[in-house]
Amino acid sequence: MFEDNCYYYDHGDQDFLCNFPTLDELEESIRLTLGQFYPTFEDDCEYDPSHDVRFNTYIVDLRHYNVKPFPYIASCSDYDSKLDTRDFYRCYHDSLCFNISDLVCEYNPDVHAMASAILDYLRTKIEEEIERASEWDAIEQAELAEEEAYEQSHYTNVVIEFSKDMHSARCANEIRLFGRLIAEYNPYKHKARAGRTLLDDGVGFLRGLPVCSGSTKRWALIIPAGTVIELPRVDRDLLSRELPTVQAEHPDLRITVKDKPERLDRVVLERAALESQKASLLAQVAKIDAELSTLTT
């Protein structure tokens, strides 16, 4: 929409405002540009100013609305020819440039007629780009809605609370639920580590962390009681097949199936991990204090 020598684009989450040149500003820019690129000849030399116009590419750039004179016009013989095919999205994020070489050639040397023609051309081009952008927005919104509907119909999130300790089989390398790696054993550090988080096939520990017990030769993975995890984007078909089995094998698990899939929040998971580590360290400190209190000097 044009108003007061500005054009406005407002569609969905996108809005855009850019100054639009007046006729006087455009004439000033044209005179400056042609004056810069016309060479100076001696009085006794014949010079046809249309020669340079025919063999140069002229680009008007509406990005430079803070530059005087506005708009900025560039001229060169090997300017990027792709500029005249840029669509509104690329113009919005990159540059708003249009090739005006044909109009410069057609109306040279009448600057006023040239400016009027270029002004109408720019207005038409911008209106076309805005209309095209609106059409693409509608297509993108439809595609996003289709993808969201597919996600919600095929996937969901599952929250699992461990009311009792879950032990892996002796020397088992991992614990899995609903096809997801919940915890695994790190043989190099003799420690348990959580499954990968913030991935479509990962797991998020909302409270608690897995631990390891036993020796380096005979270890066991343990997910302590009170631990809460969330599995993002669990396939609904897989869930319907495996849920009865998981509930039968682990009746102490409290399993909540969410209505729709959701991304896990990195900040929430990092905070939960730090709080779990803090609790573990405080427990170790309390144990050390208790042992110290039993010692006599």
The string of pLDDT tens digits covering residues 238-281 is 999 999 999 999 999 999 999 888 888 888 888 888 888 888 88
Could you say which of 149, 182, 208 is where a domain stops? Answer: 149
**In the prediction, which pLDDT does 40 show?**
44
**Is 82 a residue whose pLDDT tops 50?**
no
Kindly report the pTM of this predicted structure: 0.56
From the centroid of its chain, how far is CA 192?
Answer: 33
Q: Are residues 141 and 50 in the same domain?
A: yes
**pLDDT, the chain, mean:** 78
**Is 84 a residue whose pLDDT tops 50?**
no
**Does residue 61 belong to any structural domain of this protein?**
yes
**Is 1 a residue whose pLDDT tops 80?**
no
**In the prediction, which pLDDT does 73 show?**
82
Q: Are residues 122 and 182 in the same domain?
A: no
**Is 59 a residue whose pLDDT tops 60?**
yes
Bigger pLDDT: 236 vs 94: 236
Consecutive H or E run containing 268: helix 266-294
Q: Are residues 128 and 84 in the same domain?
A: yes
pLDDT digits (tens, 9 = 90+) for 29-58: 888 887 755 444 444 444 444 455 666 788
Burial of 76 (0-12, 13-18, 19+ CB in 10 A): exposed
Calpha distance 269→275 (Å, rounded) = 10
How many other β-carbons are positioned within 10 Å of the β-carbon of residue 69? 18
Q: Are residues 140 and 173 in the same domain?
A: no
User: What percent of the chain is predicted at pLDDT more than 90?
Assistant: 21
Q: Are residues 197 and 136 in the same domain?
A: no
**In the prediction, which pLDDT does 52 show?**
56
**Is 167 a residue whose pLDDT tops 60?**
yes
What confidence tier does 67 reach under pLDDT thresholds 50, 70, 90?
A: low
Q: Are residues 66 and 191 in the same domain?
A: no
Distances (CA, A) of 69 to 50, 62, 84: 23, 11, 22
**Does residue 156 belong to any structural domain of this protein?**
no
**In the prediction, which pLDDT does 65 show?**
59
186-198 average pLDDT score: 75
Parent domain of 69: 2-149
Q: Are residues 117 and 20 in the same domain?
A: yes
**In the prediction, which pLDDT does 128 show?**
78
**Is 117 a residue whose pLDDT tops 80?**
yes
Q: Are residues 178 and 277 in the same domain?
A: yes
**3-state secondary structure at position 201:** coil
Tokens 């007629």: give the residue: 113
**Does residue 238 belong to any structural domain of this protein?**
yes
**Does residue 251 belong to any structural domain of this protein?**
yes
**Does residue 253 belong to any structural domain of this protein?**
yes
E-strand spans in the chain? 2-3, 6-11, 14-19, 57-61, 72-76, 97-99, 155-162, 166-167, 174-177, 180-186, 191-194, 204-207, 211-214, 219-223, 228-235, 253-257
Q: Are residues 144 and 201 in the same domain?
A: no
Q: Are residues 121 and 174 in the same domain?
A: no
What confidence tier does 195 reach under pLDDT thresholds 50, 70, 90?
A: confident
**In the prediction, which pLDDT does 98 show?**
82
